[in-house]
Structure 1
Amino acid sequence: MMVTFRWIEMFLFFVLMLQFGGVHSGDLPLSFTVRDGDKVTLPCENLINNHHNCDTTVWLFTDSRGTPAVELVILGQIKEKAKSDRLSVTAECSLVIKKVTAEDVGRYTCRQFRGNPGRQQGPDAVVYLSVVSMTEHQKADEVTLNCSVWTYERCKHKVKWIHISEALDRDYSNLKTSESSCSATVTFLNDAYTHISTYDFKCSVV
């Protein structure tokens, strides 16, 4: 049975990170890493002064598969129907996403327009969103926990499981671990003799 592993405690270091690669040299696009199911607020850092209800703001979304950009917000109004119940815009024109999923991983662009017809004002403000997901798979007395990070570009995170306060960098007699790019797995026996519980584990993402 595969279920979302909601109850384990997770450490997220550098929840708000800065990465290079902006539209202009010296720009620093923001990058957020959040857990699936959480809410995230993506700031618009090129906001025009004296706007009215974000009527100068457009938010675009490009997923990690490289499909064409989707207009989420046009002149302050939510346009993406598939996500409309999870999207909102703050008074500062930040984009709020509720109940984040892996499908939300991608590149978000805040763009400003003014005039009729609208002309873009200033450079784009880019925000990257990554999502951490954790699952549990149980077969008889064997339990497997997986922690993965989904990113827009090549993953630069390091993921590992921690048991109580000890990092699991190798296999133990009653634990098996494996790590790959942006993912870590631990398998153990959950019975009366091993005294190991899912509550003993934390996922570390750095």
Structure 2
Amino acid sequence: MDEFKRIQKSSLLILLLQFTGAAIGQRDLYLSVRVGDEATLPCNNVFNDQDQCESTTWLLSYSGSTAVLVRGGQIGEEARAKSDRLRVTEKCSLVIKKVTEEDAGPFTCRQFRSGEQQGSDSLVLLSVVTMTEHQNNDEVTLLCSVTTRVSCRHKVKWLLQGRDVDEDNKDIKTSASDCNASVTFQTSHYGSTQRSELFTCSVTADDGNVQTFSFQSSDGDKQAATTSTTTAAVTSSPTIKNSGLLRLVLVSLGLAALIMIVVAVNIWTRAKEKQTQMDEINVRYDVDDGTVNYENIRPPDGV
């Protein structure tokens, strides 16, 4: 009797664990990825006895249409345009390389056997984070926005050194709304390197999952080059002035040293000539008549 109760309790526990695991596995997943990064979308209802994900299908649905990205573990015809950015892992997760805003949306993983769907869908809501930088005279504004292709309820805000920006901070202005946030400050306060190190964009999904992204402009090469050039001109102007002043001082010191050298050489030359003339003349006094006779003691030519 006791053994029967023990077996009954064990069976009930196993059933409970299986039910809990199924409930957790079918929970919608919110995933935010920055433009240009790689996204890995897990399939939480995958069958473990698949060799090459032959029972797995991935779908992307939005605007009333559905595209088949993966069918039977292989990239589908409707995804050929971006097939070089898609691949399926051993665990049937879908990997998207170099994510763009067009990749945002709800992805569904389904399991099929003998043409029939097995179990419930596994849903991944992919959001794409875009960061841009805009400069207006002496002010810089960083923008962080989230693209979802569905109703967006993400909370977005900028953090300074991992913390909320103080509302009393007169040097930094922030604003935030669903799926968008901005921060504005003077160009002289934070250089381009400091911006990437100090400012992060915090994205909170509808399920409470929080992800943070360090600042990295997504405007492209032209915008990045313009911003970099402008920033360098602003931040390096004191250095340019200091370099000019230092160059002026060095030139003045060099000119003074050159003048001193010329004067010293001139004095030395004259002294040398005078000494040479003295050496070439022998002064002899005649003791008898008190006269002075000068004799040139320079050797005759050719001697």
| Match of residue 89 from structure 2 | 90
Q: Does 1:196 align with 2:190?
A: yes
Q: Offset of 1:74 from its aligned partner?
A: 1.0
Give 3-state SS (helix, strand or coil) of 1:85's partner: helix
Q: What is residue 164 of structure 1 aligned with on the other side?
A: 161
3-state SS of the aligned residue for 2:52? Answer: coil
More helix by share: 2
More strand by share: 1
RMSD: 2.2
Cα distance between partner residues in 1 of 2:136 and 2:168? 20
For residues 56 and 163 of structure 1, what CA distance do their matches in structure 2 show?
A: 46
In the alignment, does 2:38 pair up with 1:39?
yes
Query: What is the TM-score of this pair, normalised by structure 2?
Result: 0.53
2:26–2:121 Cα contact (<8 Å) kept:
no
Which residue of 1 is the match for residue 170 of structure 2? 173
Cα deviations across residues 86-132 of structure 1 (Å, max 9, x unaligned)?
100011111111111221111111112222xx222222221111122
Deviates more, 1:54-63 or 1:69-78: 54-63
SS at match of 1:121: strand
The 5-angstrom pairing of residues 1-206 of structure 1 reads 27-63=26-62, 66-79=63-76, 80-115=79-114, 118-164=115-161, 166-168=163-165, 170=167, 172-191=169-188, 195-197=189-191, 198-199=195-196, 200-206=198-204
Residues 35 and 133 in structure 1, CA contact (< 8 A), matched pair in contact too: yes
Larger Rg: 2
Runs (5+) with no aligned partner, structure 1: 1-23
In the comparison of the two structures, how many residue pairs are matched?
175
Structure with larger RCO (C-alpha < 8 A, sep 6+): 1
- Identity of paired residues, percent? 53
Compared CA separation, residues 153 and 171, structure 1 to 2 (3 A): farther
- Unaligned residue ranges in structure 2 (runs of 5+): 1-22, 205-303
SS in 1 for 2:154: coil
Q: Shift of residue 52 of structure 1?
A: 3.0
SS of the equivalent of 2:102 reads helix
Per the TM alignment, residue 61 of structure 1 is displaced from its structure 2 partner at its CA by 0.4
- CA shift for structure 1 position 27: 4.2
Q: Which amino acid aligns with 1:90?
A: T
> Separation in 2 of the partners of 1:55 and 1:88?
14
**In 1, Cα distance between equivalents of 2:50 and 2:163:** 52
TM-score by length of 1: 0.75
> What is the SS of the residue equivalent to 2:81?
helix
